[in-house]
Amino acid sequence: MAEKSGADILVECLVDLGVEVVFGYPGGAVLPIYDALYNHPTIRHVLVRHEQGATHMAEGYARSTGKPGVVLVTSGPGATNAVTGITDALLDSIPMVVITGQVPTQLIGTDAFQEADTVGITRHCSKHNYLVKDPAKLAGVVHEAFHIATTGRPGPVVVDIPKNVQIATAPYARPELKVHASYRPQTKADAAAIDAAVEMLAAAERPVLYTGGGVINSGPQASALLRELAALTGAPVTSTLMGLGAFPASSDQWLGMLGMHGTYEANWAMNQADLILCIGARFDDRVTGRLDAFAPNSRKIHIDIDRSSINKTVDVDLPVVADVGSALDDMIALWKQRGHQQQDLSDWWSRIAQWRAKRSLSYPETGPEIMPQRAIADLYQACMSTGRDVIITTEVGQHQMWAAQHFGFEAPNKWLTSGGLGTMGYGFPAAIGAQMGNPDSITICIAGDASIQMNIQELGTATQYRLPVKIFILNNEYMGMVRQWQELTYESRYSNSYSESLPDFVKLGEAYGWTGIRIEGPEDLESGIRQMLDTAGPVIVDCRVAKLSNCFPMIPSGAAHTDMLLDPNQIAGIMSDEAKALV
């Protein structure tokens, strides 16, 4: 058998695994790998400006294409800079493989130059990780790493490779996939659970389908099946932040997002339901609000591929451990086989109509400024009218919630946001990664003035690779979400939430070769958006919006769904210590 260096083995594996793009940044401990990638015929390397950017690009690439994102960084600071993105991918179940260089094996543990305990640091923020000490084992590890990252509940896997292992040689033949015998995610549901789920659903008088990111992770087929199940049952559908797009926002059965900034109808329907079918969501605290008041009179079915998600916060009546797509497929087949008909849900729908009539997403438009919600609504209309495929990413804050509320998603994999970790700095690199994977789509990062500065250096990356990414900043000159909480909880003492010394975003973009556009007031909004969409290259838009708008509806943390605040007049300005202590 021919011998190959560890670096060549790695690259060979990446080719065999179908990797087309690697997001990375070089350094001493990965030089052999960079040399193996030099002028590589099929693997495209995207040189980022900061390793955190690489991780979020890989996430954006993965979330928008369904393929795993791949990151390559050096030891020490390269690896530690990647930690936020690795954690982000863990919380949002994004398939990602991160290859880190490490100091040579004989120097491990000596506090060598750029040594960090990468496997120690990433042990609990990755789905799995490896330190490979022998080039003969590398190929097996890399293949297993991709398998683990992409199967079961997807997540980030870290492969730490000491520099001498990259250089040393070993006999190489394409490995058979050998996976830990202990790794066997359950993808097919127990027949008895499917049976019980179908019967509960068929008998429900006030059902709600509560869907989440798991539907997206399961693949486009799962979204199609969700639509079919909704059509068969006639049940209303709501979704978490992570699940938007799995069910079309234009459907009559769509209730909008649920949870802290969800719609009145979604949260009240959850509260009053007699049956909740949770599909690939995880009863996160942003969704449930006060636990003892969450959907108190409902029976609950929970479909999740990860058993540890079941009964973690909310006790359910029927767990269904399975891949969402597979479980939906089984349920639909059984529903049809049993000849179930839709229940008469007209009473239920008329109650929902009353909640809808509150128009909880409406907002006042009286002042001379652009309301941020209006900016999103107009952006949505303009995107629709292009007739092109549009991918939206967001940063974290009010703008993220407004985007979730006012942009309608019709298809999965078009909405990329940091839900679990809430990472400011995610959105812009994620847009670059999504654009890499979807060169023909319009990719827009809806950003806040504060968040966008967290990975602003990636302007250079988009320029270098001629990626026509758009950044649409809702500039309220505040860390708006922080300011809103301070208004609600700390009597408007705005401690360090004002965005002092903002850069001129237009000039900043121009300095990197981007087009910069400023939208000052309502009269520029439509034309500014159109100009952004009509510009072939990358564009940064500084859209000045009302500074003190708040994001409503809102369920204050620790409150029940029924205690939802609909408008600013309901703000108390002060809270109990118990409520303050919740995140």
Partner 1 sequence: MHIQEELSQRHVLSLTVSNEAGILARIAGLFTARGYNIDSLTVADITDDHAISRITIVTGGPPKVIDQIIAQLDRLVPVHKVTDLTDAGPFVERELALVKVAGTGEDRIEALRLADVFRAKVVDTTIESFIFELTGTTEKVDNFVALMRQIGLVEVGRTGVVGLMRGKEAN
Ligand X SMILES: Cc1ncc(C[n+]2csc(CCOP(=O)(O)OP(=O)(O)O)c2C)c(N)n1
- Asked whether 122 and 62 are in contact (CB, 8 A), the reply is no
Q: Give the nearest distance from C-beta 448 to Mg ion in angstroms.
A: 4
- Select from 482, 506, 565, 566 the one that contacts ligand X (CB under 6 A): 482
Q: Is 178 in the site for partner 1 (CB under 8 A)?
A: no
Q: Is 571 in the site for partner 1 (CB under 8 A)?
A: no
Q: Give the nearest distance from C-beta 498 to Mg ion in angstroms.
A: 10
Q: Is 398 a catalytic residue?
A: no
**Euclidean distance between CA atoms 211 and 430, whole angstroms:** 23
Instruction: Choose the contact partner of 388 out of partner 1, ligand X, Mg ion, none; CB within 5 to 8 A by kind.
Output: none
Instruction: Choose the contact partner of 481 out of Mg ion, partner 1, ligand X, none; CB within 5 to 8 A by kind.
Output: ligand X
Instruction: Choose the contact partner of 123 out of ligand X, Mg ion, partner 1, none; CB within 5 to 8 A by kind.
Output: partner 1
Binding segment for Mg ion (CB under 5 A), chosen from 408-416, 468-476, 520-528, 544-552, is 468-476
Instruction: Please identify which of the residues 96, 331, 481, 532 carries the catalytic annotation.
Output: 481
Between 80 and 398, whose beta carbon lies closer to Mg ion?
398
Q: Is 476 in the site for ligand X (CB under 6 A)?
A: yes
Q: Give the nearest distance from C-beta 158 to partner 1 in angstroms.
A: 12
Buried b (16+ CB within 10 A) or exposed e, 249-280: eeeebbbbbbbbbbbbbbbbbbbbbbbbbbbb
Instruction: Choose the contact partner of 311 out of ligand X, partner 1, Mg ion, none; CB within 5 to 8 A by kind.
Output: partner 1
Number of H helices, E strands in the chain: 22, 20
Q: Is 336 a catalytic residue?
A: no
Between 283 and 426, whose beta carbon lies closer to ligand X?
426
Contacts to partner 1 from residues 113-142, by CB under 8 A: 119-120, 123-124, 127-128, 131
Binding mask 388-417 for ligand X (x = CB under 6 A): -------xxxxx------------------
- Asked whether 322 and 187 are in contact (CB, 8 A), the reply is yes
Backbone phi and psi for residue 39, each to the nearest 5 degrees, phi listed first:
50, 35
Q: Is 481 a catalytic residue?
A: yes
**Euclidean distance between CA atoms 86 and 96, whole angstroms:** 8
- Distance (Å) of CA 460 to CA 85, 187, 428, 469, 513: 19, 42, 12, 12, 8
- Asked whether 296 and 271 are in contact (CB, 8 A), the reply is yes
Q: Is 51 a catalytic residue?
A: yes
- Select from 1, 173, 181, 536 the one that contacts partner 1 (CB under 8 A): 181
Tracing tokens 């052999």 back to the chain, one arrives at 32
- Select from 62, 82, 103, 148 the one that contacts partner 1 (CB under 8 A): 148
Instruction: Choose the contact partner of 423 out of partner 1, ligand X, Mg ion, none; CB within 5 to 8 A by kind.
Output: ligand X
Give the start-end residues of each E strand in 409-563. 415-416, 442-448, 470-475, 515-519, 539-544
State CA 524 to chain mean position distance. 31
Contacts to Mg ion from residues 480-519, by CB under 5 A: 480
**Euclidean distance between CA atoms 237 and 223, whole angstroms:** 12
Which one-letter DSSP state was computed for residue 502?
Answer: -
Q: Is 410 a catalytic residue?
A: no
Q: Is 183 in the site for partner 1 (CB under 8 A)?
A: yes
Cβ neighbours of residue 299 closer than 8 Å, sequence gap 6 or more = 200, 274, 275, 276, 317, 318
Instruction: Please identify which of the residues 12, 67, 114, 531 carries the catalytic annotation.
Output: 114
Rg (CA), the chain: 24
Residues with catalytic function: 51, 113-114, 163, 481
Q: Which positions touch Mg ion (CB under 5 A)?
A: 448-449, 476, 478, 480
